[in-house]
Amino acid sequence: MMTVPSFAHGDRLTRRDLEAITDERHRYELVDGTLLVSPSPRPLHQRVVARLLAALSPVCPADCEVLPAPVDVVLDEFTVMIPDVVVGRRETFTERALVGVPVLAVEVVSPSSRYIDRHLKPARLAAAGCPFYWVIEPNEPTLSCFRLEGTEYVLDAEVTGDEIAHLEVPYRLDLSPADLVSSY
């Protein structure tokens, strides 16, 4: 039986509270103790994730690993996020989660997640020190690659449609948003 425990209004939730949720039909995340609930992703969203995994995996160094959601990224006791794709150092993965700061977090934007993916998640990841954050808008399609400079993300590359991003960091890689959404 799937359950979502009830919590007292106004309480800040913790990582332990999140682990008590057994409903696997939705994605549950915590940001500063606030519960975020997302519906399951659509086929276009998952196609982008699959294409991105296929592109990142061959260039990922041996000390890192590329994984698709759902993988919890535990930034602190009150913030547990699930990027659509995460690259982390192997030593930061436990049996249950990536504990600490990822090398790269990628979000594929859905209409219901636009604000979270464009504002909330990058703010928390930047504060935690995640060096790279990418956002993919599948309907346009657009790829925006950010790198951490100081305490904020700056745009490193942005391409639309058939344009190709020639990336050097975090790994040498050429990516086209059109290829990520193509149903070929």
pLDDT category at 38 given cuts 50, 70, 90 is: confident
The pTM assigned to this predicted structure is 0.88
Q: Which residue has the tokens 């890689």?
A: 173
Q: Phi, psi (5° rounding) for residue 84? A: -65, -35
Which two three-digit tokens encode residue 41? 């992703």
Distance between CA atoms of 3 and 5, rounded to whole angstroms? 6
DSSP 91: G
Whole-Å CA distances, 36 to 27, 64, 83, 85, 169? 8, 28, 13, 18, 30
Distance between CA atoms of 64 and 22, rounded to whole angstroms? 29
Does the N-terminal peptide bond of residue 70 adopt cis geometry, omega within 30 degrees of 0? yes
The per-residue pLDDT for range 101-120, each reduced to its tens digit, is 999 999 999 988 899 999 99
User: Could you tell me if residue 32 is left (phi over 0), alpha (psi between -120 and 50 degrees) or otherwise beta?
Assistant: left
The per-residue pLDDT for range 127-151, each reduced to its tens digit, is 999 999 999 999 999 999 999 999 9
**pLDDT exceeds 60 at position 7:** no
User: 80 forms bridges with which residues in the sheet?
Assistant: 30, 74
Alpha-helical runs (H) found in 20-176: 43-56, 114-115, 121-128
